[in-house]
Amino acid sequence: MIFNEMMKEGSVRKPYKKIDKWIKSFPDNSYEKKHQEAQRIFKRIGITFSVYEKKSPEERMIPFDMVPRIFTAKEWELIESGIKQRTKALNLFLNDIYNSANIIKEKIIPADLVYGSRAFESSMVGFIPPRKIFSHISGIDVVRTSLNKFVVLEDNCRTPSGVSYMMQNREIMMTMFPDLFSDNLIESIDDYPVNLRKMLSSIAPQNCKNEPVIVVLTPGSYNSAYYEHSFLADLMGVELVEGEDLFTEKDKVYMRTVTGPQRVDVIYRRIDDHYLDPLCFDQKSLIGVPGIMNAYKNGNVTICSAPGCGIADDKAIYSYVPDIIKFYLSEKPILENVKTWNCARDKDLKYVLQHIKDLVVKEVHGSGGHGMLIGPKATKNQIKKFSKKIRNNPQKYIAQPTLNLSTCPTYTSGGIAQRHVDLRPFCLMGKDLNVIKGALTRVALKENSLIVNSSQGGGVKDTWVLRK
C-alpha cells in the first residue's frame, strides 16, 4: 500500500490542512500562472544542472513544484536522530578501516569488500584527519513507506549535492507566497551557510592559529553542480577556486591572488578523488592541485571531505550499515535499511536472478538513476540483457525490493495529483553535529514513476519542518 502524505482515510492530515485550503483558494488557471512564474524565477536565477548524455553537456532547468512537503516536529525528530546516528557510525567506520581495521578483524565486514572496492583509497591508510572526521557533509537519502516508518535508501558521504536547490526552493516560496510563512510556523533553513562555514573552520589544521582561510574547489563551470559550488562559496563569503588557482610549496597550499600568494587552510572540494592530485591519483588530471595530498597528510591543510570516504557510499557496504551501527555505537539503527541482496554472495545472486522481475537492481557504484533496472517496469528483453550483465559481473550489483515510496500532492498539467517523493536531509559534522531542519525533496513528475533524479525527469519542492 502506498502512503499518501496528505490524505488519511479520505481526510486531509492535520499538517496539510492549511496547504489544502491554500491550494483550493486559487481561482481557475491562476495556479498555472504561478507555476509558470516560479519556473521563470528558476531560469532567471540560473538554477540549472548539466546532463552528459551527448558529446557536449546540456544545461537543463530543474522543474520546481510549488506544493510544499510537510513534516511535523515529531516526525523530524525521528529522521534527525537517525541521520545523526548513521553519520557518527559511518565516520567511525571510515576512521577504523584506514587505521586499526577492527571491524574487519572481527569479521563483521569481509576484507575484500573494503579493500577490493575502487572507492577505497590506499594512500589514506594510517592517516587520521582533524577530529577523526572523514565525511564532514553527508546527504542521506530517505524514503517514507508509512505514517511512522522512514527507511534509508542510500548514503552520500563524499560530496552530496542539492543543498542549493533546497535553499532556493525556500527563497522562491517565500518571495511568491509570503503569507504562507505567516500562517504556518516553519523552521528556518537560512543558517545552513553559516553552519557550513563554522563546521569548515572547526576542522582547520592544528597549526592554524588565525581565522582559517577557506576555499571551495570546483572542477569548473562545465560541472553539473557548478551552480551549487558558486552559490555556497558566495553565501559563505569564501573564494571559489579551480585547480589552477591553487599551488603547493613546501607542503603548504596557497591561493593565487592579485596581492600575491595567500595560505589556504581548509578546502571544501567538489572534485572527485581521482582528479584531486595528479601526483597521487590520475596523472592526466588538469583540474587538480599537484602536491595537495602531501600538504594534507602533513597536517598543513584540511580537505573536506577526506579522499577515500566514498567507501561509505558503496552500495555493497550499505547492506552492512546496521552492523556498523551496532559495532561502533552498540545501538540499534533508528532508521532501517532497505532489504538488500548483494550479488557477490552466491545465495543472494541466485535469489536475484530468480526474482529479478520483482526487484530493483543497481550498480554498486552507480548514481543518478543510471545503471539500474526496475524489474516490475522492465520488458522481458531488458530483464534478459540485465540478467546476463549480473551473471558476468555479480560483484558489481545489489538488488532491493520495489519500495512503495510515499506520495505528495504535486502540480501537473491536469491539476494537483499524487507523485512519488524521496528526501535528502543534510548533516554537517565538525566540532558539532548538525542536521538542518529542512531537506531536499525530489519528486518523480511522471505518473507512477519511482525515479526522482533530475537527470531522469524529476523535480524538486520546498520541504517544511513545522515548529512544535
The one-letter amino acid at 449: S
Query: How high is the pLDDT of residue 449?
Result: 86
pTM for this entry = 0.93
For residues 129 and 302, give the distance between their C-alpha atoms in angstroms, rounded to a whole number. Answer: 8
Q: Is there a contact between 422 and 141 (Cβ–Cβ < 8 Å)?
A: yes
pLDDT tens for each residue of 138-160: 999 999 999 989 999 999 999 99
Query: How high is the pLDDT of residue 298?
Result: 97
> What is the share, in percent, of the chain residues with pLDDT greater than 70?
96
Coil vs helix vs strand at 378: coil
pLDDT tens for each residue of 272-293: 999 999 999 999 999 999 999 9
For residues 212 and 254, give the distance between their C-alpha atoms in angstroms, rounded to a whole number. Answer: 13
Q: Phi-psi bin for 368: left (phi > 0), alpha (psi -120 to 50), beta?
A: left
Query: How high is the pLDDT of residue 8?
Result: 93
For residues 119 and 98, give the distance between their C-alpha atoms in angstroms, rounded to a whole number. Answer: 12
Q: How many residues does the chain have?
A: 468
Task: DSSP letter for 34, please.
Answer: H
Query: How high is the pLDDT of residue 422?
Result: 96
Q: Is there a contact between 101 and 125 (Cβ–Cβ < 8 Å)?
A: no
Coil vs helix vs strand at 290: coil
For residues 64 and 168, give the distance between their C-alpha atoms in angstroms, rounded to a whole number. Answer: 10
Q: Mean pLDDT, to the nearest integer, of 247-254? A: 98
For residues 335 and 49, give the distance between their C-alpha atoms in angstroms, rounded to a whole number. Answer: 30
Q: What share of the chain is helix, strand, coil (3-state, %, to 5)?
A: 35, 25, 40
User: Which grid coordinates are listed for 119?
Assistant: 572507492
Q: Mean pLDDT, to the nearest integer, of 193-201? A: 98
Query: How high is the pLDDT of residue 425?
Result: 98
Q: At 11, phi and psi to the nearest 5?
A: -115, 155
Q: pLDDT band at 228, cuts 50/70/90?
A: very high
DSSP 113-169: HHHTSTT--GGGTT---GGG-S--EEE-EEEEEETTEEEEEE---S----HHHHHHH
pLDDT tens for each residue of 417-456: 999 999 999 999 999 999 999 999 999 998 888 888 876 7
Pairing of strands 407-412, 137-139: unpaired
Query: How high is the pLDDT of residue 183?
Result: 87
Q: How many CA atoms lie within 13 A of 331 on its CB side?
A: 15
Query: How high is the pLDDT of residue 58?
Result: 63
Q: pLDDT band at 51, cuts 50/70/90?
A: low
Query: How high is the pLDDT of residue 43?
Result: 79
Q: pLDDT band at 225, cuts 50/70/90?
A: confident
CB atoms within 10 A of CB 323: 15
For residues 331 and 126, give the distance between their C-alpha atoms in angstroms, rounded to a whole number. Answer: 27
Query: How high is the pLDDT of residue 39?
Result: 84
- Domains of the chain from N-terminus onward: 7-183+313-337+404-465 (no CATH), 206-300 (3.40.50.11290), 341-401 (3.30.1490.270)
Question: CB within 8 A of 169, min separation 6: which ones?
Answer: 64, 440, 460, 461, 462, 463
Q: pLDDT band at 400, cuts 50/70/90?
A: very high
Place of cell 577515500: 308
Q: Mean pLDDT, to the nearest integer, of 91-120? A: 96
Q: Mean pLDDT, to the nearest integer, of 306-313? A: 95
- Is a pLDDT exceeding 90 seen at residue 104? yes
Crossing angle of helices 380-392 and 346-355, in 10° steps, is: 170
Alpha helices in 258-370 (DSSP H): 273-276, 292-297, 315-318, 321-329, 346-355
Question: Which residue would you say has higher pLDDT here, 69 or 468?
Answer: 69
Query: How high is the pLDDT of residue 414?
Result: 76
Give the residue among 19, 41, 280 at the shortest CA–CA distance from 169: 41
Q: What CA–CA distances, in Å, run from 349 to 88, 313, 315, 341, 402?
A: 31, 21, 15, 8, 17
Alpha helices in 243-342 (DSSP H): 273-276, 292-297, 315-318, 321-329
Q: Is there a contact between 246 and 292 (Cβ–Cβ < 8 Å)?
A: yes
Query: How high is the pLDDT of residue 199?
Result: 98
